[in-house]
Amino acid sequence: MTAASNVPADAPLLSVRNLQKVFSTRAGDVRAVSDVSFEVRRGSIVGIVGESGSGKTTVGRCILRLVEPSGGEALFDGTDLFGLPEKALRGYRRRLQIIFQDPYSSLNPRMRVGEIIGEAIDTHGLAKGKAREARIAELLGRVGLNPDHARRYPHEFSGGQRQRIGIARALAVEPELIIADEPVSALDVSVQAQVLNLIQELQRELGLTMVFISHDLSVVEYLCDDIVVLYLGRIMEKGPAQDVYANPRHPYTKVLLSAAPVPDPSVRRERVILKGDIPSPLNPPSGCVFRTRCPHVIDACASAIPAIEEVGPGHSVACIRQKELAGAAV
């Protein structure tokens, strides 16, 4: 384990290596995440995208140790979070925060907004008395709410406003890394853009480092510097957002992109509908886990798990046919 003081200044803030998560159930072992590796540069946003059941939320919760990983490493500022005992991990809680998916269930309905935000401040002893009140007012103002809202309860707010409260709570302890777990998926489409713009503004103003989890590739492309595409717990493709968006190399990435809206009405994109549902992680397909739904599948796809190959600077893909399919339509 590397001491944080010896970490080079240009090193990633977070480096996830070979992350594994297996859930034991009565029906058998569920391999939710397999060999997931990626890096998050300081001041950047990395998007993790995939369908429901792809393992993206599990990845985020494993990083924070809200779910205990089965294997791998998560080097945060040089320290392996997975190797820390619970007592030592508490010291990192202030530096790592989460914005939950559901603003309706993530806020305690019996607490006033000021108490919800203040709870994090109190836990870490960051401010007291008037300084605490001023900090709560500042946080509410920063996320576009009135400081007087501190006296109200969560049920008095709309979904978008509640998510703003959740963002203020995450910012209260001045974290170095925020995991945003589908923070707009439970909101009306008309409100989603407002919250996304807020997250983008806060990231630029405060220099935040984030992992942004979503099922919507267009949202991830708009907000993120780098993209990790997951399917059934495995990485299909990863790389700089602009490269992945402009030149997707994995058939699954191309399918996700085909469903993303195009802002230019003169550009037409053929929508590709995948057949069937994502397979059960209790009994995943052999070889490439995407092969049962892939429009380009061949017999060899069933024989071995494809290695992740670099196809450009920082751009990698896991597909045995990626060279011959380069530039091809889905």
Q: Output the domain CATH number for residue 48.
A: 3.40.50.300
Nearest residue to 66 via CA among 45, 86, 88: 86
For residues 43 and 275, the model is more confident at 43
Domain carrying residue 312:
10-95+175-325
Nearest residue to 144 via CA among 108, 109, 177, 191: 191
Q: Which of 123, 143, 167 is the last residue of a domain?
A: 167
**Helix axis angle, 159-171 to 129-142, nearest 10°:** 130
Please determine, for residue 84, whether its predicted confidence score (pLDDT) is greater than 50: yes
d(CA 179, CA 22): 21
End-to-end CA distance of the chain: 43
Pair (186, 253) in one structural domain: yes
Pair (248, 310) in one structural domain: yes
Pair (152, 197) in one structural domain: no
pLDDT digit string (tens) for 283-324? Answer: 999 999 999 999 999 999 999 999 999 999 999 999 999 998
d(CA 53, CA 55): 6
**Is 43 part of any domain?**
yes
pLDDT digit string (tens) for 214-233? Answer: 998 888 988 999 999 999 99
What's residue 67's pLDDT?
A: 96
**Is 2 part of any domain?**
no
pLDDT band at residue 212 under the 50/70/90 scheme: very high
For range 2-7, the mean pLDDT? 56
Q: Which of 13-22, 60-69, 89-98, 237-246 has the lowest mean pLDDT?
A: 89-98
Pair (74, 180) in one structural domain: yes
For range 127-139, the mean pLDDT? 92
The residue whose two tokens read 């406003």 is: 161
Which SS3 state, helix, strand or coil, does residue 264 take? coil
In sequence order, the 6+-apart residues with CB closer than 8 A to the CB of 28 are 282
Q: Which of 67-71, 163-167, 255-259 has the lowest mean pLDDT?
A: 255-259
Which SS3 state, helix, strand or coil, does residue 293 take? coil
- DSSP assignment of 53-78, as one string? TSSHHHHHHHHTTSS--SEEEEEETT
Please determine, for residue 211, whether its predicted confidence score (pLDDT) is greater than 60: yes
Pair (143, 245) in one structural domain: no
**CB-CB contact of 22 with 32 (8 Å):** yes
Please determine, for residue 190, whether its predicted confidence score (pLDDT) is greater than 90: no
d(CA 180, CA 103): 12
**Is 91 part of any domain?**
yes
d(CA 207, CA 204): 5
**Is 279 part of any domain?**
yes
d(CA 59, CA 225): 18
Bridge partners, 15 (sequence order): 39, 75
Please determine, for residue 258, whether its predicted confidence score (pLDDT) is greater than 70: yes
Q: Both tokens of residue 156? A: 């008095």
Indicate the pairing of strand 45-49 with strand 234-240: unpaired
Pair (112, 81) in one structural domain: no
Q: How many residues does the chain have?
A: 330
Average pLDDT over the chain, rounded to an integer: 90
Radius of gyration of the chain (CA): 21
Cα separation values, 297 from 1, 228, 230, 258, 319, Å: 41, 22, 18, 19, 10
CB atoms within 10 A of CB 254: 18
What's residue 24's pLDDT?
A: 93
Pair (87, 153) in one structural domain: no
What's residue 54's pLDDT?
A: 93
Please determine, for residue 329, whether its predicted confidence score (pLDDT) is greater than 70: no
For range 35-56, the mean pLDDT? 95
Pair (163, 187) in one structural domain: no
Pair (153, 229) in one structural domain: no
Which strands make up the sheet holding 79-80, listed edge to edge?
28-40, 14-25, 71-76, 79-80
Domain count, the chain: 2
H/E segment holding residue 223: helix 217-223
pLDDT digit string (tens) for 13-24? Answer: 999 999 999 999
Please determine, for residue 167, whether its predicted confidence score (pLDDT) is greater than 90: yes
Indicate the pairing of strand 45-49 with strand 226-231: parallel
d(CA 320, CA 298): 10
Pair (231, 281) in one structural domain: yes
Bridge partners, 21 (sequence order): 33
For range 207-217, the mean pLDDT? 93
For range 197-208, the mean pLDDT? 93
pLDDT band at residue 1 under the 50/70/90 scheme: very low
pLDDT digit string (tens) for 95-125? Answer: 999 999 888 888 999 999 999 999 988 887 8
For residues 277 and 42, the model is more confident at 42
Report percent pLDDT > 90 for the chain: 71
